[in-house]
Chains A and B, each alone.
Chain A
């Protein structure tokens, strides 16, 4: 499995979309506080900046990895390179798991650039004015990583099924944009959907911002749901990949 992980990491490092998206997010992370400090009337509050970012970071968590799923996962099928991987003498379970792990790693990198980068830049520019609570900051970063991995697991399953970069990106963005709205509408009519939505990573990814105000059972729910989602979608992906005829 080590060789598979090394190979996937090498490919991620060389992936043009990964490099460009990382660079774009880093630029935003650097420029946003810089512009705020130049044109703002008051000195930046790093805590306020951090709270603003984590509110918006949900979109990065859900949408940016869709592009990586298309270019890094689905393109392996459309380019035909998946044939080399599948015939390399490694079991399909290992191939899928190593790919999922590295794809999740890429999604996690995307998800933490803005909170860490913007907070860091803001702190330097404001000379560490009104810094966020360190424990809260660490909790948010850990939960951001957990949810990024859970979303990555879902995306990877779809990318494996669609096997075409354009189709994967388009459909994933559509699914991730519409899911909240559709589920909200269904939940208002059918109780089962309300239950499903309340325990889904889609809904909970909005809730972990308030982690410092939640009781421990709620925190446990916030932690266990993305882990279970990651495992379930990972297993579904393994099953789909094992039965897949690679063309």
Chain B
């Protein structure tokens, strides 16, 4: 098993009578990009706040770079770069001054890293413009620059592409991928834009009402979100028999509404339709479908809510 950068053990957080996080056992492998998915108020920010030391757990432990002792945890947090919730910048300072304040705070040697980091996020030409006059996208880039200062080994990013224009989204995505592949930076990223997360993450964690309901790798998710043919015919039973006998496969499902989901012959739609028509069936619907991350998440949450 690979080393874990972050592990939580039965981590819980309760605010008065409200359980914000309930016995969460999360683990993030070194070198992975972990997509953290959940609705508003599901517990994503609570977990990141516990990991970064902004709040104290009610019970359970946080293990960061193998450290669980409170003093060592504080030291381990020096190896983290984090952006949590709203843009946290000094509005009366320029981008470079904001970074300088954080460089001094983190004790990062050498002033040159300020310009280098600003260039990395595309803010090197903002000059004397105060941060309060930045657009939301520029503020997001600045926050990311602050998190990247001092070459952290583990990045915790909360909605990092919020407010970015399409080009900015691509740039930040590529930057994060580059940091991950070239420098081995582990990234925990939460975003509401699941399609974007799908292009980036190698691992996923789904959180709902304070409980971590599922963790999986990208491969496992792809298996679960597999493509299929959505087939509706006038006689479902006969169609099922034809698929089994003529097409020689059991890799299909009959849904309660009579729709057949066929997971084989995805590159041969003509073969499938011909077999059904030749058997005298009338095809009412025939289309290629598949789940994306969004529909998988919706189904997962829906299943729990209705369960």
A contact residues vs B (CB 8 Å cutoff): 2-4, 6-7, 10-11, 14-16, 79-91, 245-247
Bound: A15/B101 CA distance, A: 12
Can you name 11 A-B residue pairings with CB atoms under 8 Å? A3-B106, A10-B100, A10-B101, A14-B90, A80-B88, A83-B52, A85-B105, A87-B54, A89-B77, A89-B106, A247-B54
Cβ–Cβ contact B89 & A87, under 8 A: no
Checking A7, A16, A83, A245 against B105 with a beta-carbon cut-off of 8 angstroms, the contacting residue is A7
Residue of B whose beta carbon sits closest to that of A87: B52
The answer to whether the Cβ of B175 comes within 8 Å of any Cβ in the partner chain is: no
Cβ contact of B92, chosen from A3, A16, A247, cutoff 8 A: A16
Contact, CB under 8 Å: A79 / B77: no
- Residue B104 interfacial (CB < 8 Å): yes
Are B85 and A80 in touch, CB under 8 angstroms? yes
Q: Is the CB of B77 within 8 A of A88?
A: yes
Question: Which 4 residue pairs across A and B have the least CB separation, nearest first?
Answer: A89-B78, A80-B88, A87-B52, A3-B107
Interchain nearest-CB distance for A81 vs B (Å): 5
Contact B105 A84 (CB under 8 A): yes
* Minimum distance in angstroms from A148 CB to a CB of chain B: 24
Q: With A10-B100, A89-B106 in contact, do A83 and B84 touch (Cβ < 8 Å)?
A: yes
Contact, CB under 8 Å: B77 / A84: no
Chain B residues within CB distance 8 Å of chain A: 49, 52-56, 71, 74-80, 82, 84-93, 97, 100-102, 104-107, 146
Q: With contacts A79-B91, A80-B87, A246-B54 known, is A89 near B100, CB below 8 A?
A: no
B49 / chain A contacts, CB cutoff of 8 Å: 245-246
What is the CA–CA distance of A65 and B100 in the complex, to the nearest angstrom?
Answer: 25
Question: Is chain A's interface secondary structure helix, strand, loop, or mixed overall?
Answer: helix
Contact present for B107 and A11 (CB under 8 Å): no
Task: Give the residue name and chain of the B residue nearest to A2 (CB).
Answer: B107
Q: What is the bound-complex CA distance between A85 and B105, given in angstroms?
A: 7
Q: Contacts A4-B105, A80-B87, A246-B54; is A87 near B82 (CB within 8 Å)?
A: yes
Q: Is the CB of A90 within 8 A of B52?
A: no
Is the beta-carbon distance between A79 and B90 smaller than 8 angstroms? yes
User: Please, which residues of chain A bring their CB within 8 A of the CB of B80?
Assistant: 87, 89
State whether B78 touches A14 (Cβ < 8 A). Answer: no
- Complex CA gap A88/B77 in Å reads 6
A84 near B53 with CB under 8 A, answer no
Is A14 within 8 A of B93, CB to CB? Answer: yes
What distance in Å separates the Cβ of A94 from its nearest Cβ neighbour in chain B?
A: 10
A3 touches B90 (CB 8 A): no
Chain A, residue nearest B146 (CB): A84
Residues from chain B with Cβ under 8 Å of A80 in the complex: 84-88
Q: Kindly list chain A residues whose C-beta atoms are within 8 Å of the C-beta of B53.
A: 86-87
From residue A39, how far is it (CB to closest CB) to chain B in Å? 38
Q: Is B88 a contact of A88 with CB atoms below 8 Å?
A: no
Identify 12 new A-B residue pairs, CB closer than 8 A, beyond the known A3-B107, A4-B105, A14-B97. Answer: A10-B100, A10-B101, A11-B101, A15-B92, A83-B88, A84-B88, A84-B105, A86-B52, A86-B53, A87-B80, A245-B54, A245-B56
